Amino acid sequence: MPRYGYSFEGFDPAVHIRASGREVNVSPKAAREVAVTIKGMFLTKAIDLLELVEEKKMAIAFRRHKLKVGHRSELQGFPSGSYPVKAARAYLDVLRNMQGNSEFKGLDPERVRIIHAAGYAGRTLKDYTPRAFGRSSPNFHQLVHIEVVGKEV
């Protein structure tokens, strides 16, 4: 069983709360864009936003991976965006875990601000699809590590 660390430096257990999802089968690009969006938000506001994304009522701005991405009228300031439902579900699981961790530590989840959010590539699942004339094509799946760290304000 591998032992995973966190990319967040300077973690203080008395002040910070953290949660992670390891090797989640979502798009690394969508996971990165969701992380950029929720960083700096309060925990409850981030959960509400991701629930709207899951229902396809609010879009996430795609800032880095924006080529051939449609524009969304509900986005303010940055037009390109999408509804990364799978990534939103994965982040919701991690944020609800973080909410439980904050209650366990005796902190108020309403006052917890997300100070670090990251979604980066994990291991690759290799699969091959059979093709004509005895050939095959690679069908690789990139798994993602999700990390969220919060601090009570």
For 30-56, write each residue's pLDDT tens digit: 999 999 999 999 999 999 999 999 999
Split at pLDDT 50, 70, 90, the class of 4 is confident
Task: Note the pTM of the prediction, 2 decimals.
Answer: 0.91
pLDDT for residue 2: 77
Which runs of E-coded beta strand occur in the chain? 16-24, 60-61, 81-82, 112-125, 128-130, 136-138, 141-152
Instruction: Give tens-digit pLDDT for 92-145.
Output: 999 999 999 999 999 999 999 999 999 999 999 999 999 999 999 999 999 999
pLDDT for residue 77: 84
The Cα-based distances of 145 to 1, 69, 132 in angstroms read 15, 24, 35
Residue ranges per domain, the chain?
Answer: 18-152
Given a cut of 80, whether residue 19 has pLDDT beyond it is yes
Asked if the 18-152 domain carries CATH number 3.40.605.10, the reply is no
